[in-house]
Structure 1
Amino acid sequence: MSDLWNSDPGRAQDLQPLTRLIANMGDEFFSSSLLECLEHWVQSQHFSMIRLDRPHPTLLMAGTRHHDADLVWRCWQAYHHYDYQNHDPLLLRMHEDHLRVNQLQVGHMLAEDIDFLPYRKAIYHDNGMNARLSALSLDAQGTPVLFNLYRHAESGFFRDQEVEAFEGLAPALLQLVKGHMAIRGEASQSEHNAAAMLRQRCPDLTDKELEVCLLMLKGMTYAGIAAERGVKESTVKTLRNRAFSKLGINYRNQLFAMMSH
């Protein structure tokens, strides 16, 4: 791992991981890019971002590089189902500081700091995790939002330098994650609108024909669509031809023009 603390933080190459992460905002691979970016400063295999709604929290975003891809989701389901946020010593300690909008609290917790044994066992011990770094902020509505990084026992504990690096990175990371979610939200709404327009114009479009049209509107090539959906390129072109016939068009640019009307 390349260490920020072993180099001049002002050097351009030390900012390259963040630059790459910015380039991936709005992309479906942003979660894995975030963990790869953090590897430059902090070793972590999982992250989560949780809005602490009442009475139950909401998972805004999560990602993992662990070989057990479902681990982070199992942990979230247990955390949510049993309301473990009410037994989270780091979160409770952060809350005591009466956080205000535009402020940020950063904390570090070991699994052994958790006195409530069901929580410690279900989230940490049963999954081989031993530590967490967290950044707590308030959203525009004043609801607390918690960003977490987790460490596995085989990787040891977070070093002091990693904790310090996280403290410095947390404000920028939170802004990038929030920006990514905003872009994805806009993209999702745009896709929903496009799907509604195409359905209105041609109710007979099948789900697969509609999907190909929506992916084309994203700018994807036929080969790219085929690779993403695990089908032959010829299958994609057949679906395109059927969709275009039903829509009364012949070319891709006509599909784009249809969205502007």
Structure 2
Amino acid sequence: MNVWTVAEGSSPSDIALYSLSKIVAHIGTQDFTSGVLREINRGLAAGSWSVYRTSGRRLPVCYLSNSYKRRDTTGRCFLAYREGLYREDRTFDALEGSKGQDIRILHITAGEVRNPEHRRVIYEHHRLRERLSAARLAGDGSILSVNLYRHDDQPAYRECDLQLFEHLSRGLFASVERQIALQPGMEQDGAGAQSSIADLPQDAHREALRHLAPDMPAREMEVSLRLLRGMSHDGIACDLGIGATTVKTYRNRAFARLGIHHNNELFALVLQHRDALLRR
């Protein structure tokens, strides 16, 4: 019998495999965003990262974002992007003509961002020097993108870094997709309620919450509305430009007002309110 220890290795493929073995362990956990970014930084330095879906026809959706050993401004960046910059975002033009399962690697420096406003508001204001993205074009024309950013205080990406990201990209992309699939973040018995909730217009969600908790402050309301849309804490944090810990605080306060403890109870309350109105 032969026995040996698995070596970490030093080639880009070896480092990528080692990082991926650690990344997979974070899937489904609450620390996915911070944990995965930490594992990426084992071999590929990134000051921050984000995962979002964008389309020129509708508002982009941020699934997760975080920063590594620095103040996190990724939520503010996405808020500025969603306010209109996404409409003029030409950084994904290279995906045109790609096939449904193709993952393309994009490397762009701040100076290469064509839209001056996009460059100024996102890259220059937040001191981002460049972006590495693994992106895929979906059948509906939207683009899912996993993005790593280096900041002005970090050196530029080298050729070996680009090779490492290429080796890392497919497994990282698959891990992110799996995390997104799990992100609705509900207990299993809440899954059925979510599909029914999705059939309600957003105004009906707000009306129900106002009826159930008339004194609910705006921030608690916005967090609750996003929970009803199936968003995770990370996604809500990115969407509102606040920290994930702050999201949990608002969630807990809202749930205390409503006398509940879990997401599925929130869905049930809103559906019960709808049913009560239908019976009148």
TM-score grouping bracket, smaller chain normalisation: 0.5 to 0.7
Q: Is the 8 A contact 2:13 2:167 kept in 1?
A: no
Looking at structure 1, the residues matched to 106 and 148 of structure 2 have their Cα atoms a distance apart, in angstroms, of 11
| Paired letter, 1:59 | C
Q: Counterpart of 1:65?
A: 68
- Alignment check: 8 A CA contact 2:95 2:136 kept: no
With the length of structure 2 as denominator, give the TM-score of the two structures: 0.60
One-letter identity of the residue aligned with 2:68: R
Q: Which structure 2 residue ranges, 5 or more long, are not aligned?
A: 1-7, 195-247, 250-259, 261-280
Which structure ranks higher in relative contact order (CA pairs < 8 Å, sequence separation ≥ 6)?
A: 2
Offset at residue 138 of structure 1 (A):
3.0
Counterpart in the other structure of 1:188: 186
Q: Map residues 245-256 of structure 1 onto 2, 5 A cutoff.
A: none
Alignment match, 2:23: 21
Work out the CA distance in 1 between the residues paired with 2:82 and 2:67.
18
* Cross-structure match for 2:35: 33
Q: Work out the CA distance in 1 between the residues paired with 2:108 and 2:16.
A: 27
Q: Structure 1 residue 110: deviation in Å?
A: 0.5
Distance in 2 (alpha carbons) for counterparts of 1:142 and 1:86: 16
The answer on 1:81 being equivalent to 2:83 is yes
CA RMSD of aligned residues (A): 3.2
Code of the residue aligned with 1:17 in structure 2: it is: S
Whole-Å Cα distance in 2 between the matches of residues 112 and 30 of structure 1?
Answer: 31
Higher Cα Rg, which structure? 1
Preserved contact between residue 5 and residue 161 of structure 1 (Cα < 8 Å): no
Q: Residues of 1 paired with 2:58 and 2:16: CA distance?
A: 41
SS at match of 1:57: strand
Q: In structure 2, what residue type is equivalent to 1:157? A: A
The offset of 1:21, in angstroms, is 1.6
Aligned to 2:164: 165
**8 A Cα contact 1:101 1:142, kept in partner:** no
Q: In structure 1, what is the Cα distance between the partners aligned to 2:138 and 2:20?
A: 22
- Structure 1 runs not aligned, ≥5 long: 197-228, 231-242, 244-261
Which AA in structure 2 matches 1:91?
F
1:221 match: none
CA distance in 1, matches of 2:139, 2:69: 33
Aligned length: 192
Residue aligned with 1:188, SS: coil
The structural deviation recorded for 1:45 is 1.7
Answer yes or no: is the 8 Å Cα contact 2:52–2:61 preserved in 1. yes
SS state of the match for residue 27, structure 1?
coil
Output the amino acid matched with 2:48: H
Q: Distance in 2 between matches of 1:115 and 1:167?
A: 24
1:124 corresponding residue in structure 2: 123
1:43 and 2:45 are equivalent in the alignment = yes
1:75-101 superposed Cα distances (whole Å, 9 cap, x missing partner): 00111102335233x312x133x1211
Deviations 1:116-168 (A, max 9, x none): 22111110111111100111113465532111111001112111111111112
Displacement of 1:31: 0.6
Q: Distance in 1 between matches of 2:40 and 2:147?
A: 12
Alignment check: 8 A CA contact 1:52 1:145 kept:
yes
Secondary structure at the aligned position of 2:163 is classed as: helix
Distance of 1:172 and 1:14 partners within structure 2: 9
The TM-score with structure 1 as length reference comes to 0.64
The answer for the alignment partner of 1:147 in structure 2 is: 146
Q: Is the 8 A contact 1:52 1:143 kept in 2?
A: yes
**Cα distance between partner residues in 1 of 2:144 and 2:70:** 27
The residue that corresponds to 2:92 in the other structure is: 91
Report the AA paired with residue 95 of structure 1. L
How far is the alpha carbon of 1:55 from its aligned partner? 2.4
Identity %: 22
> Helix, strand or coil for the counterpart of 1:26?
coil
> Contact 1:85/1:91 (CA < 8 Å) preserved in 2?
no
